[in-house]
Structure 1
Amino acid sequence: MNVDKEWFEKGYIDEKTNDTADLAGEIRRMCREKDAVIMAHYYTRKEIQDVADFIGDSLALAQKAAQTDAQIIVMCGVHFMAETCKILCPDKLVLCPDLNAGCSLADSCRAEDLKKYKDEHPGYKVVSYVNTTAAVKAITDVVVTSGNAKKIIDTFPQDEKIIFGPDYNLGSYINSVTGRNMLLWNGGCHVHERFSVDAIVKLKKENPDAKVLAHPECKGPVLAVADVIGSTAVLLKYATENSSGRYIVATEAGILHEMQRKCPETEFIAVPPEISEGSVGCSCNECEYMKMNTLNKVYNCLKYEWPSVDVPEDVAREAVKSIERMLELS
């Protein structure tokens, strides 16, 4: 095996190594030795989900981070998720297998821009989707997830002035089901925005008995043809409780691994994206940032306890208030 000398001398595993079983075994051994837990989002690679102590959506991962007694948390997802873990567990070592695993949605809303918008709208409460940076959470009144957004918005008086960001599609959906008129930040997830009605209609013609499951980060026209709209956890629960059906799934394809694991006899059909000319990023229904998490990187970050994620104390002090408020209301 031709391995770069500096890479080899540092003890890193060659990324071409394909012995998944040995890697998984070593990762589990180190977790026991180091009192570490691996948390993985549903959108990560299937081998990451298989080696994790806990898999879930953003809300479940935040709750688990707040509850764990482990000394090390390996957050397999994207960077803002690791930040959330660190905010909730300031005394624990939080590792992120690849610091480059960002989020197009979080990137669409910078803290300085949101602050300016907030200052331009005095008297408005700020409700931010969990897919945001720690700095944005620090100027937010309450954080929400796709699974609890409606429930939390319903706790506000009907005439409350609310700024909702950064996901425009989720905010628009919540407006439609609550009768609100929240001001919406114009951000979006580059994966969910690629799904089109045409692709779903074509699949429905080919599979007339299949129900459409869609994440509320999808555009309004896509949600309009969906049979079930919900977070990854909601969609998974529905499919599990109705496992005799067939499903067309409009969300990041990583969730299909857990769906298939829980419902091995059920057919799940991933909606392909509609790629426009000049578009950038992965031309598929997968998030390339989530897929940056690999077993090799998990092994390395556990072995070397690096790279770690830290949040400035002043930012964390303010951000934790909006997260704790969410956990109280969930």
Structure 2
Amino acid sequence: MNNDWKEKGYIDEAVDESVDLKKEIRRLCEEKDAVVLAHYYTMGEVQEVADFIGDSLALARKAAKTDAKIIVMCGVHFMAETCKLLSPEKKVLCPDLTAGCSLADSCKAEDLKAFKEQHPGYKVVSYVNTTAAVKALTDVVVTSGNAKKVVDSLPKDEKLIFGPDYNLGNYINSVTGRDMLLWNGGCHVHEKFSVEAIVKLKAEHPEAVVMAHLECKAPVLAVADVKGSTATMLDYAKEHKETKEYIIATEAGILHELQRCCPDVTFYPVPPEVSEGGVGCSCNECEYMKKNTLLKIYNTLRYELPEVTVDESIAKDAVKPIERMLELS
């Protein structure tokens, strides 16, 4: 193996076409006492080879409890950081270090620090989609699945800053009666969903239930029948067997698990925009999540690289709001 992975952020060493990557990944996991965690937004074949798949909250819980010596996080970089914060004694591997997050990028630690200084007396509630450095400036972390519960648990007169996802914060304000100061950040995938595209799909499939992620804009959430995290969507579909059609407004990777759990149900992904000829058939996908491939996972396990670390001076403060979240949820 050469060292060009340091510049690329991943190892792309080719293997013979006869190699069964899924089988080899499982063999290496057993040999090295490793566990593969994958987010619902990764490719279907990645989800199939993982030991555990889930949303951000479920993955954080799994990372905190696993007995494995090595954690391979197939998601985006901040998720690997979260694993390391919760399991500092374990080796945490990320198949592609360039798998970033537009939402995390929208809130830099130095900018949040300055904003806090401009608003003395405010506590910070940060979405899990943030860097370890931002978490170190945070009082409690939330996910889309537990944000309402966590915010409701805080004193009613507490002055709060919520970031970086404006849409999620706006929704939590609306359902809790809070008036949190909202950071103006967003997910580049969920920002693309439109009411127009949903209305078009609903006209074509009038019996379909519309489900939308809380990172979507308020007008999109307003036309949704089910609003919540990816786990909320999955649970709803599994619990409502009588519903045979759904319109899904979130990253298209979730369709793999939805279809696996509900094989007799039809799921229509909302496209990012309406073309002149109609809705079309394109899906909203996160190019960062899709950077996780079987080859990269195999090479990551084989060479135990790239490894994700967090500076101890940041980690000691960054882990506290995550632990508080897990205690509250």
- Identify whether the pair has TM-score above 0.5, normalized to the shorter chain: yes
Q: Distance in 2 between matches of 1:12 and 1:174?
A: 42
Residue 319 of structure 1 corresponds to: 318
Q: In structure 2, give the amino acid aligned to 1:14.
A: A
Shift of the alpha carbon at 1:156? 1.2
Q: Secondary structure at the match of 2:184?
A: coil
Shift of the alpha carbon at 1:274? 1.9
Residue 279 of structure 2 corresponds to: none
Q: Secondary structure at the match of 1:181?
A: coil
Indicate if the aligned counterparts of 2:38 and 2:73 stay in contact, CA closer than 8 A. Answer: yes
Residue 261 of structure 1 corresponds to: 260
Q: Distance in 2 between matches of 1:28 and 1:224?
A: 43
Indicate if the aligned counterparts of 2:211 and 2:248 stay in contact, CA closer than 8 A. Answer: yes
Indicate if the aligned counterparts of 2:125 and 2:162 stay in contact, CA closer than 8 A. Answer: yes
- For residues 215-243 of structure 1, the C-alpha deviation after alignment (integer angstroms, 9 at most, x for no partner) is 00000000000000010001100011113
Q: Among the aligned pairs, what percent are the same residue? A: 73
The 5-angstrom pairing of residues 1-330 of structure 1 reads: 13-14=13-14, 22-245=20-243, 246-274=245-273, 284-330=283-329
Shift of the alpha carbon at 1:268? 0.5
The Cα RMSD (Å) is: 1.8
5+ residue gaps, structure 1, are 277-282
Q: In structure 2, give the amino acid aligned to 1:178.
A: T
Q: Distance in 1 between matches of 2:90 and 2:50?
A: 18
Q: Secondary structure at the match of 1:169?
A: helix
Q: In structure 1, give the amino acid aligned to 2:254.
A: I
Q: Secondary structure at the match of 1:152?
A: helix
Shift of the alpha carbon at 1:200? 0.1
Change (3 A) 1:118 1:273: same
5+ residue gaps, structure 2, are 6-10, 276-281
Stretches (4+) displaced over 4 A: none
- For residues 273-320 of structure 1, the C-alpha deviation after alignment (integer angstroms, 9 at most, x for no partner) is 0289xxxxxx84000000000000000000000000000001000001
Indicate if the aligned counterparts of 2:103 and 2:129 stay in contact, CA closer than 8 A. Answer: yes
Q: Distance in 1 between matches of 2:65 and 2:26?
A: 20
- For residues 37-72 of structure 1, the C-alpha deviation after alignment (integer angstroms, 9 at most, x for no partner) is 000000000000000000000000000000000000
Q: Distance in 2 between matches of 1:284 and 1:319?
A: 35
Q: Which moved more, 1:84-93 or 1:242-251?
A: 242-251
Q: Distance in 2 between matches of 1:242 and 1:136?
A: 38
Q: Which moved more, 1:33-42 or 1:234-243?
A: 234-243
Indicate if the aligned counterparts of 1:194 and 1:275 stay in contact, CA closer than 8 A. Answer: no
Indicate if the aligned counterparts of 1:130 and 1:143 stay in contact, CA closer than 8 A. Answer: yes
Indicate if the aligned counterparts of 1:40 and 1:56 stay in contact, CA closer than 8 A. Answer: yes
Q: Distance in 2 between matches of 1:275 and 1:52?
A: 34
Indicate if the aligned counterparts of 2:197 and 2:270 stay in contact, CA closer than 8 A. Answer: yes
Indicate if the aligned counterparts of 1:142 and 1:326 stay in contact, CA closer than 8 A. Answer: yes
Change (3 A) 1:12 1:77: closer
Q: Distance in 1 between matches of 2:17 and 2:261?
A: 26
Query: What is the aligned length?
Result: 315
- For residues 139-181 of structure 1, the C-alpha deviation after alignment (integer angstroms, 9 at most, x for no partner) is 1000000000000000112221000000000000000001111
Q: Secondary structure at the match of 1:303?
A: helix
